[in-house]
Amino acid sequence: MKKINIAPPSRNNRTTVAKQPIRIVRGLTVTFFILSLGFAAAGAIAQQSDRDKGRRGGGGQDGQDGNLASLDPGPRAGSVGAGTPISGLSPQQIVFFQNGLSQFNELEDVVRTGPGNGGLGPTFNSNSCGSCHSQPAPGGTSPNANAYPNVGQNPQFTVGQLMGGGNTIPSFITADGPVREVRFKSDSGVHDIFTIAGRSDAVGCSIAQPDFAAEAANGNLSFRIPTPVYGAGLIENIADATIMANLATSASRQLGIAGVLNRSGNDGSITRFGWKAQNKSLVVFAGEAYNVEMGVTSELFPNERGYPPTPIPSGCLVNPTPEDRTVFESNDPTQVSSDVNAFANFMRFLDQPIPACKGIGCSPEIQSGRAIFTNIGCANCHTPSMTTGLSGMASGLSQVQANLFSDLALHHMGSNLADGVSQGNAGPDQFRTAPLWGLGQRIFFMHDGRSTNLLQAIQEHAGSGSEANRVVDTYNQLSRQNKQNLILFLRSL
């Protein structure tokens, strides 16, 4: 395989366990590996980066300790508390959920096999939703070759060569690194990594990959990793008024925390999905991902996309559009919906992750860590819970306490995390507060996957202009034990 040399955005600290392959097969879920219960570390943790010692010169009693990274035990072992449907679904709704799951894990080929059955390309980042959203279960985030429970190689490392594809692999895509999409800061848009040129099911297509090396040399690349979609239906069903009231009460000006909401440019409603809260609904979120990440057109996004403003070569326009659509020909009501609507239903009916423990059922260390989380100001952005409104879709979405640990608002994260991309009201250094539910079994952190260690991830929040600076300073003054307790709490989520 040819590789383009481009340095990734930051060094990663990785855990190590025995490698096993991920299998994502048409219509099947990802294979899980259930290990022993508890907080056993997933092997030896690599030496920390300098950031782990305290980006802002803090460190409290641990300022000279060279092994702070060891306080993060790595992804939590034990049962996989994610990927199951919400309660209260009817038998028919369960069928729709399972159909959505099957479509979510389906591998796309270029040539459409039937009405409403997709069609990869002309440009793409991967060939399946499930290949990117698989840790620790379908609907999650990027897998990794070296960590429990979804052990396997980054699918992007090979997907560009399937069926004779002649794609090169830029060096920001590695076998044990995160799945990534690439945006150009110059236009804020996604520029897909691979093309269908050379594939046996795209004979006659000739389209070149972007010159990522040149764009990297110009400082024009910005990376993002997949966002988990667990509990997405609950997030969709939190009323705008609830989000606004929470932001008004939780903002703490003395800590330098403010926060604003991203909103639709048409009706002014609060948008809430994606790293910058740029998408309004799960249908829009699903349709955009299907089109942008896999190149599949739909009723929402009916036009093929290549590398704007360059026109798509006619030889790469294989299928009539939209490739994904309502299947009018079907007599089975569960098969009539387009793939986009099936994806949306799957995400809508996914339950919130189950934490390792709750309340007094947790160890004293985890209980202490939760109190520290609130006392030092983390909860001012990572709101522990909000309650959903009434749902006309399913009883399991109505008036449910969503333990998302997010205010769904945008915050200035400063020069360290700024990605140079603007979306809606979100500026180059603003991001939606990432929900923390399920954090205990995630591998990669921050919008670009630059960290695999929670202590480093905390330090990454600090930088010139960041609303998190004072909170990070306070964290750095904690004792080693209190830092450990906070990390154990986060890994319990």
pLDDT tens digits, one per residue of 51-110: 333 333 334 444 444 577 789 999 988 888 899 999 999 999 999 999 999 999 999 999
What is the radius of gyration, based on Cα positions, of the chain? Answer: 22
Q: What is the pLDDT of residues 302-340, one digit of tens each?
A: 999 988 888 999 999 999 999 999 999 989 888 899 999
Residue 249 banded pLDDT, cuts 50, 70, 90: confident
What pLDDT score was predicted for residue 1?
47
Q: Of 157 and 78, which is predicted with more confidence?
A: 157
What pLDDT score was predicted for residue 66?
53
> What is the distance, to the nearest Å, from the Cα of residue 284 to the centroid of all Cα atoms in its chain?
16
Query: How far is Cα 31 from Cα 41, in angstroms, rounded to an integer?
Result: 21
What pLDDT score was predicted for residue 59?
40
What pLDDT score was predicted for residue 58?
37
Average pLDDT of every residue of the chain: 86
What percentage of the chain carries pLDDT values higher than 70?
84
Handedness of CA 5, 6, 11, 17 (dihedral sign): negative
Residue 14 banded pLDDT, cuts 50, 70, 90: very low
The mean per-residue pLDDT over the stretch 172-181 comes to: 94
CA distances from 421 to 99, 217, 427, 429 (A): 35, 18, 7, 8
Q: Of 208 and 310, which is predicted with more confidence?
A: 208
Total count of residues recorded for the chain: 493
The mean per-residue pLDDT over the stretch 371-384 comes to: 96
User: In terms of C-beta density within 10 A (0-12 exposed, 13-18 middle, 19 or more buried), how is residue 194 classed?
Assistant: buried
Q: What is the pTM of this model?
A: 0.86
What pLDDT score was predicted for residue 149?
60
Comparing CA positions, the residue from 122, 127, 121 lying closest to residue 108 is 127
Contacts of 261 (CB under 8 A, 6+ apart): 243, 244, 247, 270, 277, 408, 409, 410, 425
